[in-house]
Amino acid sequence: MSRPQSLGELRRSGYRSRSVRDELRQNLLAALRAGTPRWRGIVGYDQSVLPQIENALLGRQDFILLGLRGQAKTRLLRQLVELLDPEIPALDGTPLNDDPLDPVSTEGRRLVAELGDRAPIRWIPRAERYREKLATPDTTIADLIGDIDPIKAAARGLSYADEGAIHYGIIPRTNRGIFAINELPDLQPRIQVGLLNVLEERDFQIRGFPVRMPLDIVMVFSANPEDYTNRGNIITPLRDRIAAQILTHYPKSVEEGMAITAQEAWTERGDAPHIHVPAFLREAVERTAMEARKSELVNQASGVSARLTIALLEQMVSNAERRAVRLRLERDVARTCDLLASVSAVSGKVELVYEGEREGIEAVAHRLLGLGLKAAFDHYFPDALRQEPTKPSGKKGAGAPAAPVGMASGPFKPVVDWFGSGNTVELADEMDPREFRAALDAVPGLEKLTKQYMSESAGEELASAMEFTLEGLHQASVLARSRVEGRTSFRDMVRSMLEGM
């Protein structure tokens, strides 16, 4: 069945107009009844953010998302369009997406008056009914609302008070749709004032001329919570008119963070060589961001975006890919050294406080990577420095002495003792997998230790897991490690400290 192409055909089809707020509400209710997925690619918000957004939509409310960078605020706002009808009719030749049954613009009313049922209809797809503006200090009221066009007024012989002399801004042109403003506090207060009528009375003013034009529009916003709550950044009347304030957040668990990173990072590149990334390295990537989000060297008011983990994982894969290409391998496994070589993905994604700037961005990035690796290591292994409990002997109350404080004991002892005898392990980023495994096999007990606590990392992952074990012992201050120009050396910590003295 063809779509109506004129106002008369539309009326005969039985079409009934409804506001965009009712449209969002009714389509959301239908999706809830059917149990259909409503939010694509959104992880970790099922019990926090998404119910609040849906409550606002069911209540026909405007809302603002408050959150630090990299918390999917823009993605959430852009997905609102999926709750709109696939397409709606509008009068053809008008600037404001006029409802054919109830036009609001001068052009729309004139078109219906002149042509009646012959007025042409165009169909607007849902994607064209969402528009957004990044608020910047140079944004003007003309950009958002509009302004008087003196050339249009002169050409048509109109007074400046005539609606036909208006050049409409982006908000009126989004009539019958959704308009989003990102980083709302960056708007100048005098520009914020121009939004008051749009949010409450659904009309607007241009240069003192009251334009009583009821707009059918849903306004949504995003902002950094610190900017939004600071006195003076948002004028009180505007804040009062935004019905719902919804807080977003970073992933609350490592698993959620890993799911987001795996979803967004470009790791399956579709051409040889294929790089396999073990789960323990994916976890180390995620824990690096989690450590950054609580570090005293990082500006927490700015936040640490999920883009850090995405960029870090992609760079780690790229470093392994370069090695595989040079060695003409069709398949390889990412290593800890590949993660350490991806420091630029961290240094470009964190904003430092004064203490961090004094230490230097690269040093802070290396520290955060180390903390992430240590946290992942602690997830798999027991405390490498804990004292072993005394073992009972024949006499009651007597036992073997505990391991000295600062010395690894228990399952780590064979590995640490080997390094304590003056042995070292030399690894290179470009080392062939067989050479890499052979160098690690030279450490007695390393394979057994790794299999004992990382049993899922077998087969092709084992060598990478063994390197991860050594790196974890270094981050636990059991082994010393030096890394220069893609070459890594592990040795005994005490011997290294004595030589340094």
Per-residue pLDDT of the chain (501 residues; tens, 9 = 90+): 588 999 999 999 999 999 999 999 999 999 999 999 889 999 999 999 999 999 999 999 999 999 999 999 999 999 999 999 999 999 998 889 999 999 988 889 989 999 999 999 999 999 999 999 999 888 888 899 888 777 777 777 776 666 767 788 899 999 999 999 999 998 888 889 888 878 877 666 676 666 667 889 999 999 998 888 765 688 889 999 999 999 999 999 999 999 999 999 999 988 879 999 999 999 999 999 999 999 999 999 889 999 999 999 999 999 999 999 999 999 999 999 999 999 999 998 999 999 999 999 999 999 999 999 999 999 999 988 765 544 443 444 444 444 444 456 689 999 999 999 999 999 999 999 999 999 999 999 999 999 999 988 888 999 999 999 999 999 999 999 999 989 999 999 877 776 665
- Is the same domain home to 261 and 369? yes
Residue 18 shares a structural domain with residue 129: yes
DSSP 120: B
Whole-number Å distance between alpha carbons of 332 and 274: 7
Identify whether residues 370 and 462 lie together within a single domain.
no
Angle at 48 between CA 44 and CA 54, to 5 degrees: 110
Which pLDDT belongs to residue 106?
A: 83
Residues 219 and 293 reside in one and the same domain: no
Q: Which residues contact 163 (CB under 8 A, 6 or more apart)?
A: 105, 106, 211, 213
- Residue at which a domain ends, from 339, 360, 380: 380
CATH code for the domain of 478: 1.10.10
Of 333, 363, 380, the residue that ends a domain is 380
Q: What is the pLDDT of residue 203?
A: 67
In a domain, 163, yes or no: yes
H or E element at residue 248: none
10 Å Cβ neighbour count for 234? Answer: 22
Mention every residue, 6+ apart, whose C-beta is less than 8 A from residue 8. 116, 117, 118
Domain boundary at 232, 247, 262, which?
247
Q: Can you give the pTM of this predicted structure?
A: 0.87
pLDDT at 337: 96
* Same domain membership, residue 341 and residue 236: no
User: How many domains does the chain divide into?
Assistant: 3
pLDDT at 65: 96
Please report whether residue 65 resides in a domain.
yes
Q: Is residue 1 part of a domain?
A: no
CATH number at residue 204: 3.40.50.300
**Structure tokens given for 429:** 């980023």
Closest residue by Cα to residue 421 from 492, 326, 354: 492
- 344 in a domain, yes or no? yes
Q: Give whole-number Cα distances, 210 to 74, 154, 158, 178, 240, in Å.
A: 33, 20, 16, 23, 23
- Is 397 part of a structural domain of the chain? no
User: Which residue range(s) make up the domain with 117?
Assistant: 7-247
Give the C-alpha distances (Å, rounded to integers) separating 443 from 278, 454, 469, 488: 22, 17, 12, 15
CATH number for the domain spanning 358: value is 1.10.8.80
Q: Are residues 199 and 277 in the same domain?
A: no
DSSP state of 157: T
Can you give the pLDDT at residue 91?
95
- Residue 270 sits in the same domain as residue 234: no
Please indicate, yes or no, if residue 390 is contained in any of the structural domains: no
Distance CA 482, CA 477 (A): 13
Within this chain, do residues 94 and 32 fall inside the same structural domain, yes or no?
yes
Residues 56 and 157 in one domain: yes
In a shared domain, residues 274 and 204: no
Regarding whether 309 and 330 lie in a shared domain, the answer is yes
SS3 readout for 376-417: HHHHHCCCCCCCCCCCECCCCCCECCCCCCCCCCHHHHHHHH
Q: Is residue 400 part of a domain?
A: no
The predicted structure's pLDDT at residue 394: 40
Q: Same domain for 427 and 318?
A: no
Q: Is residue 402 part of a domain?
A: no
